[in-house]
Each structure stands twice: as structure tokens, then as C-alpha cells.
Structure 1
Amino acid sequence: MTVYLRNGLSKKAHDEVPIQTLEIGIINLMPNRQETEEQFISLLSQSEQNVALSFFYPETHQFRYSSAAVVKSHYETLSNGLKQRMDGWIVTGAPVEKLPFEMVDYWHELQAVFTSFSEQKVPVIYECWAAQAALYQQYGFQKALRARKLSGVFAADTILSKSHLIYGFGAGGLFRMPQSRHTDLVLPQSGLPSELEVIASAPEVGPMVLADSLTNAVFVTGHPEYTQYTLDREYQRDYQRGLVVDPPHNYYLNDSKEQVNYSWLTTSRQFYRNWVGQVMQKKVVKNL
């Protein structure tokens, strides 16, 4: 279906948004904001519903990698976002995972937002660092710094087949997702709270997707929005900086690193199609 842009760096013209359109807010914390916008636009265009996207930024963030003036002229503040009636939210990853959560400059602002989402039970997807941050905020789950960066595409060996998020997938490695992070999620040895379930996992990466049945939150430890060459660009960037990094696992087709296996595209489209379908169902029920 069609994706309409309420704002954002990718917005080029004014579009008339149909009435029966899902309103999705995206808190875009990635440094390459326009690329991230385009990734989500591409993914959500594969859903079965029309979607209108609005992009938001934390006011307390001290910008380093992009012009604050540009972002502020194209995005809305989180405080304004909470005043709007969004049908669902997406919170992206952020390049701050090596910092303690409390050291992130916009942490207190995000805490308030996460709490609001939980109280309203609005459907939300937290990705990568945001997933770790939200699980820390809501459950006190810790993260652990890895000795080497985890990068690559990994297939789930365990899935919770009853979950609507996994509709269309079966066993046998059909559910694949890019991972790109320096930290791992640490689950409590005492077990998960009753409302929280691991939806998909892989031995190399641990939980890939978790879902909270009470708050309608989904926690994704990877980057399903990544396009074909995103991992390659990250690897080449880190290598040029002289960092000790491994080539992304299960990604390059040969040792020359000139071709990549875009093996997760179908997974990402279906996963977000399933989530958007859930958001639409909850909107219909809410309006009854």
C-alpha cells in the first residue's frame, strides 16, 4: 500500500492522506536519519494498509553527527508526539550502546516516553539499542559489552509459532535478521515475567524478538529495516577507521566481499506486514 509522510527529511511534497490511514510515529535516533527514513518507508510500503509516518526527535539530545537545525526543521519533538493520537510507534536503534543508559543525554526524556507507551498500551516496536533500553526501563534487564562487535545475518532456530508476529514463517531458518551491535541483552536467570515471551531466537545472538502481551510492546534486538548494503557500509567504515572488526557473518557471497546475500528481505517485509496488521486490528477494536 501507500506510505504518506507527515514530515521528515524524505518528504518532498504535500500528500492528501486518506481517512482510513494508520498513523505511525517513528523516533529516529540513528545518525544517518534520511537513510533510516527511506528504509522504513520501503518496508512499510509492503504492508496491507495505508500508513502515514511522522518523525520525532528528543529535545534533550546534543547533536554531533548532523545539523540540529536541519533535524528540528523536519522533525517534531517527542513532547508534541505524545500529544498526538498515534496508532503505533517505532523507536530505532542509536549509536550509544557502549554508554550506560543513564549517561545518554536524552535518557530521562526517553524514560518518560517509554512509560507513556506502556501506560497507554499503544503498539510499539523497539529496535536494537532501543529494545535494550526499553527492557531496562521496564524490567531492569541489563546489557553486557561484547569482546567483538556482532555483525551479520542470523536465522532463528526457535520461534513461537502461535505469535501473530511470526505468521508466514516456520522452522528451518526462514526467519532471518541483520544484527549490528556491541552489546548483548542479559536475561534474568529467574526467568521472564509472565507477560513477556521470546518470539524468535538464535544460538549465536540470543533473543531476536520478544513481545509483551500486556503493553503491546515488541522488542527487536536486530535491524530488520537494513537494506542490502547497510552492513557492508558499516563494515567498510569500521575497517577504514582501523577498528578490529570481523566481516558480517552469513552475508558476503565470497571472500572478495563484492557481493552480498540479501537473505532477510522477505523476513523483514513479512514481519512488519504482520505488525502493521496487528496495529490495524487494535485500532478497529479501540474504535468500536
Structure 2
Amino acid sequence: MINLMPIKQEVEYQFSTIFENIDKDIELKYIYPITHTYKNISLDYLKEKYIPLNKIDEDKYDGFIVTGAPIEMYRYEEVDFWKEIDQFFKENELPTIYICWAAQGALYSKFGIEKYKLEEKLFGVYEHEVKEKNPFIKNSFYAPHSRNTFNKKESIQKADLTVIGESEEAGVYMCSTRDYKSIFISGHSEYQAERLKFEYERDRGDIPKNYFVRDNPENEILFNWKNHRDEFYKNWIEFIGGVR
């Protein structure tokens, strides 16, 4: 996992929780770009628990996950680690899930697909339809979104990518190459139940849609994306095992 988020322990918790519930012997290794200036995590922590991105050729992997990062309003070339991660995007041939900003960055790097600013932040949990038969998702599902930008569906289709999951309100959630080795996800099924509540309380902006019972922050959270999350990652692990 190439973890691009500032608070790395939260992402570690999210994915360790997902993979520990899959009945497979999974070893999850964390990777970081060396060209980024880190403010929210110590270099000692990174050196102890993470592998530098420029050293990944020294080991063998079955697949990658590349996380999002809170930098979507920057041009890609303005991001300090862009050259490093762009090289990975272009050279990587293993099965990979690209999430949120990483999905947008990989789509731009690989296919020249631009991102565009939304009129207002997409924030909440939305229902999605499965648009194409695929190895990962069988039925309609819910997933959280928290973003200010989007990719146009027509650009995705023009690049000969398959739209797997889509929402009328949230747009394309998941698309992939025809061989499913590159999967691009605009939302965050990996989120723990409380994550959007944390963002809402931190930012004091709009209430996340379809997240609290009756959209009331005083009520309980509707953790209705868990089944989709578990199904998707279990099936993806099965898929990459078959690619070897």
C-alpha cells in the first residue's frame, strides 16, 4: 500500500481491519514517497514501518493499493512528489487499486484524463448501480464520497475504460481497464463508520448526505457500505491471486 494520507495510522487501521477479516494469509506492507515533506508523521516512524517507494523493486508484491491525499485542488505538477508517483503510475504493471486523488492522478498519468471542480463538495453516502458484469461487485451498493473534484464519464469511456459502478448523484464511482488490473475508485469504501462524522465535526460544513439516520447529526450513523467494502476487497484478493 502506497499511503499518501497525512495521518498514516488511520489508513493503516482502515485496511488492516478489512484484510484481517479475509480468510487468506495476507501480508500488508506500507510504502511512502521519499520526495514529500512530511509534517504530520515523524521520519522515524516512516523508517521503522514503511518502505521507500524507490526501493520497492527490492521485494516482490502481488498487487498495490494507492490511497487518496487531501491535495485535489492542486495541479498535479504542483504536488512535491508528483514526478515520483507519476513514474510509478506509468511503470507499474501489477494489479492495483487507485483511490480518490490517486485514481484521478493515475487516470491523468496513464490516459491524460483531466479532473474538474465540482460546484459544491460531494459529501455523504450514495447508492450506486453496477453497470458492467465484473469479478468484484454483483449488486447495487452504497459508498461514501468526500471530494471537490470529478472526472467526466465521457473521458473515461473515450479511454476505453470500463465503468463498473456509478451513481446518478455522485457520478462514476469505479472504473477499470478491460483486464481489471487497474481499478480507479472515486469514493472511500475503506472508511470506518465514524470517518465522515469526524470530517463534519472538524469542518462544520454541510451535513453528510444519507449518513446519519434522518440526516440528523444527533442520530446514529448508517454504516451501510460495510457489506460492499468487504465483498469488494475479498473478491479483489481472489482476483490478484489468480493473476499470478
TM-score range, shorter chain: over 0.9
Question: How many angstroms apart in 2 are the aligned matches of 1:233 and 1:146?
Answer: 22
From 171, 174, 186, the equivalent of 1:221 is 186
Question: How many angstroms apart in 1 are the aligned matches of 2:156 and 2:63?
Answer: 31
Question: How many angstroms apart in 2 are the aligned matches of 1:257 and 1:272?
Answer: 31
Q: What residue number does 2:110 align with?
A: 138
- 273-282 or 75-84, which moves further after superposition? 75-84
Give the AA of the match of 1:58: P
The alignment covers a number of residue pairs equal to 243
Question: How many angstroms apart in 1 are the aligned matches of 2:179 and 2:130?
Answer: 23
Question: How many angstroms apart in 1 are the aligned matches of 2:197 and 2:123?
Answer: 10
Confirm whether residue 271 of structure 1 aligns to residue 236 of structure 2. Answer: no
Confirm whether residue 148 of structure 1 aligns to residue 123 of structure 2. Answer: no
CA contact (8 A) 1:48 1:277 kept: no
CA contact (8 A) 2:153 2:172 kept: no
Confirm whether residue 250 of structure 1 aligns to residue 210 of structure 2. Answer: yes
Identity of aligned residues (%): 34
Question: How many angstroms apart in 2 are the aligned matches of 1:147 and 1:247?
Answer: 16
Q: TM-score, normalised by structure 2?
A: 0.94
Question: How many angstroms apart in 2 are the aligned matches of 1:207 and 1:86?
Answer: 29
Question: How many angstroms apart in 2 are the aligned matches of 1:185 and 1:253?
Answer: 30
Matches for 1:1-288 after TM superposition, within 5 Å:
26-117=1-92, 121-160=93-132, 162-166=133-137, 169-170=138-139, 174-188=140-154, 191-194=157-160, 196-214=161-179, 216-239=181-204, 245-254=205-214, 255-283=216-244
SS of the equivalent of 1:76 reads: strand
Give the AA of the match of 1:183: T
Q: 1:153 to 1:62 in 2, by over 3 A?
A: same
CA contact (8 A) 2:174 2:183 kept: yes
CA contact (8 A) 1:149 1:181 kept: yes
After superposition, what is the alpha-carbon deviation per residue over 1:36-66, rounded to whole angstroms, capped at 9, x for unaligned?
1011011122324210011010000011222
Tell me how large the CA RMSD over aligned residues is: 1.6
**Structure 1 moving runs of 4+ over 6 Å:** none
Q: Which runs of 5+ in 2 are unaligned?
A: none
Q: 1:138 to 1:190 in 2, by over 3 A?
A: closer
Q: TM-score, normalised by structure 1?
A: 0.80
CA contact (8 A) 2:157 2:163 kept: no
Q: 1:72 to 1:164 in 2, by over 3 A?
A: same
Which protein has the larger Cα radius of gyration, Structure 1 or Structure 2?
Answer: 1
Give the AA of the match of 1:253: V
